[in-house]
Every structure is written in C-alpha cells, then in structure tokens.
Amino acid sequence: MLIRVRRSVSLRAALTLAVSTFAGACASTGGPGGAVPRPFPVPGRARILEAPAPPPQTSAVDSYALVGTALSLRGTPYRNGGADPQGFDCSGFTQYVFAQYGVPLARDVRDQFEQGKSVKSSELAVGDLLFFTTVAISPSRPPAPTHVGIAIGGNQFVHAPSSTGVVRVEHLGASYWSARYLGARRIN
C-alpha cells in the first residue's frame, strides 16, 4: 500500500509539473512581456482577427561565403544555357551561386537587373551583382544588360564569360569591362 501511495504521489507530481509547464508555455506566447489577452467574443458583435506580424527582414546571407562559393567554381566550363556545375552561362552562374544561400534570382540577365536595389559604383560591396552590355550600342536605343558577374572586392568580379570558356576573375577597371559597365544591384 505504501508503494501505491508513493507511485500515486509521484504520478500526481509529474502530472502537475507537466500541466504547469504546458500552461506556462502557452501563457508566454503573444510577444515580449508575456501573454496578450484577447477580448472574448460578444454576441451580436463581429469578431476582429488580427493578422500576424511579418517576420523581420534580415540579411541572412554572408556575402563573403557567397563569394567563396562563386570562387570555388572557377574553371567550370562555359555552357550556353548552363545553370549547374557541369557548365554555366553568366546568369545561370549568378542564379546558381545565390540559390546556394536560399536567395532566388531570375534566370535572365535583364530580369536580374531588375532585382534588389541599385548601388552606386562608389559603394560596391562584396556580393553585389555587376551588369554590363556586351553588344554594340545603338544611338537609337539605350544599352541593355547582357552580362552579369559578382563583385568579390578589390575592384574585381567573378563571372562566366563565353570568351575563354571558363568561370574566372576579372578586373572591373580593365578597359573592356569599364567601357561596358552599366550598373550594380544589391540582392541581399
């Protein structure tokens, strides 16, 4: 009989602890400072539902890690329409690198040029997308982006050019690239 009483007391204590733990967890939801009481529905009055607050916008992408991933793909062959380590074109390369960090990018260079926010050339940062026009410029039409790369710092960028056939690093100040530079976008 003493064993049954002890088991009964132990079981009751455990049950009380579990209930208070769950009740405490429920009471602590609703924001900082504890529970926020909601009014009880009143007959004849419409019930107002509040939308949950959106999560705070944070930049979870480490730009240096992103650039490290891009640099690790140096030497990958150029492949028109390529978007994986078997071969990349320029926008497939940037799309793939950003996707490794959960950041969706459009597939087309022109669509990528519309994403994120514009960045002044004097404010370029590691991980910014750099856009160029690599086709003949017509006086009747403004230049459009036809090539994209990723800024890696030190006035350099990594990209998948078709000219030499592999992902490589270039200097933004080189005459070819500086003459064709259109702008930059910050995605994260």
26 given a catalytic annotation? no
Catalytic residue among 70, 73, 90, 109: 90
Q: What is the pLDDT of residues 32-83, one digit of tens each?
A: 444 444 444 445 554 444 555 444 444 568 999 999 999 999 999 999 999 9
Query: In the structure encoding, which two tokens stand for residue 67, read together?
Result: 């650039």
Q: Which of 103, 130, 145, 147 is catalytic?
A: 147
CATH architecture of 63-186: Alpha-Beta Complex (3.90)
Domain ranges of the chain: 63-186
What average pLDDT score do residues 93-111 get?
A: 97
Nearest CA to 149 out of 139, 137, 174 is that of 174
Residues 94/188, Cβ–Cβ less than 8 Å? no
Q: Which of the following is catalytic: 159, 180, 185, 186? A: 159
